[in-house]
Structure formats: structure tokens, C-alpha cells
Amino acid sequence: MSIRVLLSNKHKTISEGIASVLKNHRDMELVGMAHDQEDTRRLCEESKPHVLVMGIESQGKSDVDMTRWLSLHHPLLNIVALTSDCDRSSIIQMLDAGAIGYVSTTSGIEEIMHGIRATASGRVYLCQGAAASMLDSYRRTRSTGLRSRGPRGQLGDRESQVLRLIADGYSSKEIARNLHIAPSTVEVHRRNIMRKIGLHKVADLTRYAIRNQMVAI
């Protein structure tokens, strides 16, 4: 089944450029192009896309609010933020609002395609620029001795290890092999993690791990 993609960007040339490339990928189908928030809401309802690639303005609160609204009203929609900003605060804002992908406008077109495919399968995707920004923030936090209060106050050491591996895309069997424990023990840790932090989807767990700098992306 083709990945149904909706493009939303007030800059028509950007949408048209991505659209022209999408046509050459047989596993993707362009279902529409929106140029404002009203169009985006309407086309999300009418075309039922799997992935929305949405242009985000620098420090755009309305875009964050729009992302949050779409995530609430279309929970199966996978949102990729396309923006020139790659600073940690912008990335975290969009992930918290419900985006599952983050791609810079300076990224190559194939990186945007990778982001669409990854998010269509439910995986969190950060482009190289965004990942580098998060890694730099992670390193600076480590070097100054600062610690995130979020997960470390709630999760045990083994649970934190399991969460990091979940965020890195490992299955329960792979985590069991990596940590030399039984798969059933991994499942117990997974349930405890979900109960403690109130999240159940892998994408949500990954966002949580990224936000709390538990993974060096």
C-alpha cells in the first residue's frame, strides 16, 4: 500500500519541489497540497493522509498549536515538521506538540523521503541537522554535570536502559540479548516504564527519551 502524503507549506515552490520528487517514488502517493491552516485541516479530513509534511515558521506558536490540534483530532496522522530551525527548543516543542518527524529545509530531498518513510511506519525521525543539535545539547549537559530530572526520578537503572534501547529501535528479543536477560523480563520492564511515565506507543516513548536526553541520537 502506498504512503499517502499531504504537503502543507505557505511557500508553494517548496511543496511543488517535494511533490515533483514524490511522483518518482512508487511507494508514495501525493494526496494534496495545502497552503494555509484552513486548507490543511480540510485536506486532512478529506484525503486521510498517512503522513503530513508541514512547513513550520521560526518560533511559530501558531504552527505548534496547529500540530497539537492535528495530533488530537487525527491521532493516526504522522506529522513531519519541515523547518529552517534545528535548535533543541524548537525540536522539543514540535515533538511535545505531537510531531513524529523533524526535517530541516537545508536537508537533501532524499532525507525528506527517508523521514516520510520512517514516520509512516510509526518511527520518530530527526534529520542529520536536528540529530546533531540534540547530540550537541546532550554532550553539553554531560560535560557540565547537569542531569535531567524527568526519567531518572521515575525509572530504575534497568528500566532506563530498556527505554534507551526501545528508543533506538530494538525489539524486546533484541533488548533481551543485549542486556542478557529473558524476553519476559524485558516485557515486565516495558510495562513498568509505560505505567510510570503514562505512555504506551513506541513513538511516544522515543519522544520522551529524546526530550529527556536519554539517547545520544
| pLDDT above 90: residue 142 | no
In a domain? residue 103: yes
If pLDDT is split at 50, 70 and 90, which confidence band does 160 have?
Answer: confident
Domain extent at residue 189:
147-211
Residues 180 and 126 in one domain: no
* CA pair distance 204, 98, nearest whole angstrom: 9
Beta bridge partners of 78: 51
In a domain? residue 140: no
Residues 110 and 164 in one domain: no
At residue 146, the pLDDT reads 46
pLDDT, tens digit (0-9, with 9 covering 90-100), for 102-125: 998 888 899 999 999 999 998 889
Supply the DSSP string of 94-143, one letter for each residue: HHHHT--EEEETTS-HHHHHHHHHHHHTT--EE-HHHHHHHHHHHHHHHH
Residues 117 and 198 in one domain: no
pLDDT, tens digit (0-9, with 9 covering 90-100), for 33-83: 999 999 999 999 999 999 999 998 866 688 999 999 999 999 999 999 998
In a domain? residue 138: no
Name the domain count of the chain.
Answer: 2
Query: What's the whole-number mean pLDDT along residues 196-214?
Result: 81
Q: What are phi and psi of 172, to 5 degrees?
A: -60, -40
Where do the DSSP E strands lie in the chain? 3-8, 28-34, 51-55, 78-83, 101-104, 125-126
For 63-81, b where at least 16 C-beta lie within 10 A, e where not — what string? bbebbbebbeebeebbbbb
Q: Are 44 and 74 in contact (CB under 8 A)?
A: yes
| pLDDT above 60: residue 152 | no
At residue 148, the pLDDT reads 47
Question: Among the ranges 27-41, 80-94, 184-198, which has the highest mean pLDDT value?
Answer: 27-41
Residues 42 and 97 in one domain: yes
Nearest partner of 57 among 17, 19, 8, judged by Cα: 8
Mean of the per-residue pLDDT values for the chain? 86
Q: Counting every residue, how long is the chain?
A: 217
Domain stops at, among 86, 106, 133: 133
- Spatial neighbors of 170 by CB under 8 A, at least 6 apart, are 178
Measure the CA dihedral 50/208/87/118, to 10°.
-30
At residue 151, the pLDDT reads 47
